[in-house]
Amino acid sequence: MNSVLKRFFLNERNVIIIILLNSITVFIEGFDNLPPLLVSIISFLDHFFTIIFCIELVVELNHYGWTQYIKSGWNKLDLILVILSLPSLFMAFSNQNELDFGFFLVLRLCRVFKFFRFIRFIPGIEHLISGVQRAIKSSVLVLLSFFIMILVLSILTCYLFKHLSPEYFGNPLISLYSIFKIFTVEGWYEIPDSISAHTNEIGSFLTRFFFSVLLIVGGILGLSLVNSIFVDSMVSDSNVGMENKISDLSTKLDQITQELKDIKNSLNKEN
């Protein structure tokens, strides 16, 4: 029996199918006004999959051992998800009403994070994540500078326009979101139009000019610069690897060329 469980749960294809089926049940459970019978079936299946994941955890711990198992970041994620799923399983086998366990009821929402288990099966995900981590480390000063610029502009625009357009600049936090919205070039024109409706023609022109400059400097140039630096840092490892390979090939070609010259020289001497 133990060998059968190992063959089943150590096969990634079987685990993917289980996660997919559980994700479908969580997805369906999010709809309102479902028939009571369907709700009961979905709830039963979700608890069933939770038990399956617990068995998977036990099997993998028995196979790899705790030290080897916990070395993997993905295994840590699986362990956390299983632990967060246990309260809902406890309520299913108890006679208590779920409303008596408000804290556990909140933890049931964590079942949604089961979707993230799919990430570990994406081809090349480890290389992609390491690239993102490398990009964040090398771009942290640029990102911090960009955030400080947004913060300063949000305070400035808050003092300038809080009385003219409180829905966009009523306080620094709302203003921060509005500046970020402008930088993402998403519906940015609605903001100056809202302010212009409460000013004269000169004020309307200056307002639109100010936000147009803000869009160009922050949204088009600033955000593009941050994005290009981040992407360049992310793929830098691949570029370095390619450069090393080219360097190795060049060295080998030089060696082969030198060997051919030596052979040619030796043949000339013999003749």
State which amino acid sits at residue 101: F
Instruction: Collect all residues with Cβ–Cβ distance below 8 Å to 132 and sequence separation of at least 6.
Output: 234
Q: Which residues contact 155 (CB under 8 A, 6 or more apart)?
A: 172, 175
- In this structure, what CATH number is given to the domain that contains residue 198? 1.10.287
Identify whether 192 is part of a domain.
yes
Judge residue 67's burial from the number of C-beta atoms within 10 Å of its C-beta, 0-12 exposed, 13-18 middle, 19 or more buried: exposed
| 271 inside domain | no
Q: Same structural domain for residues 154 and 115? A: no
In a domain, 40, yes or no: yes
In whole angstroms, give the CA distance from residue 75 to residue 58: 12
pLDDT at 100 over 50: no
Domain membership flag for residue 261: no
241 found inside a domain: no
Q: Is residue 59 part of a domain?
A: yes
Which residue blocks in 94-124 are alpha helix, DSSP H? 102-107
Count the domains in the chain. Answer: 2
Same domain, 55 and 137: no
Q: Quick one: 115 and 174 in the same domain? A: no
Compute φ and ψ for 218, nearest 5 degrees. -90, -45
Indicate whether 249 belongs to any domain. Answer: no
11: left (phi over 0), alpha (psi -120 to 50) or beta: beta
Q: Identify whether residues 110 and 180 lie together within a single domain.
A: no
Tens digits of per-residue pLDDT, 175-233?
A: 999 998 888 887 788 888 888 888 888 888 999 999 999 988 888 888 888 777 777 77
| Residue 94 shares a structural domain with residue 193 | no
Provide the pLDDT for residue 270.
61
- On average, the pLDDT of the chain sits at 78
Residues 97 and 172 in one domain: no
Claim to verify: residue 117 and residue 180 sit in the same structural domain: no
Domain boundary among 82, 98, 121: 121
Does residue 140 share a domain with residue 63?
no
191 located within any domain: yes
- Same domain membership, residue 136 and residue 115: no
Q: Are 34 and 42 in contact (CB under 8 A)?
A: yes
Same domain, 101 and 172: no
Domain extent at residue 38: 2-121
Sequence-distant (6+) residues with CB within 8 A of 18 are: 49, 52, 53, 56
Query: For the whole prediction, is pTM greater than 0.75?
Result: no
State pLDDT tens for residues 70-90.
Answer: 888 778 878 888 887 777 777
Amino acid at 251: T
CA distance linking residue 176 with residue 148, whole number of Å: 11
CATH code for position 31: 1.20.120.350
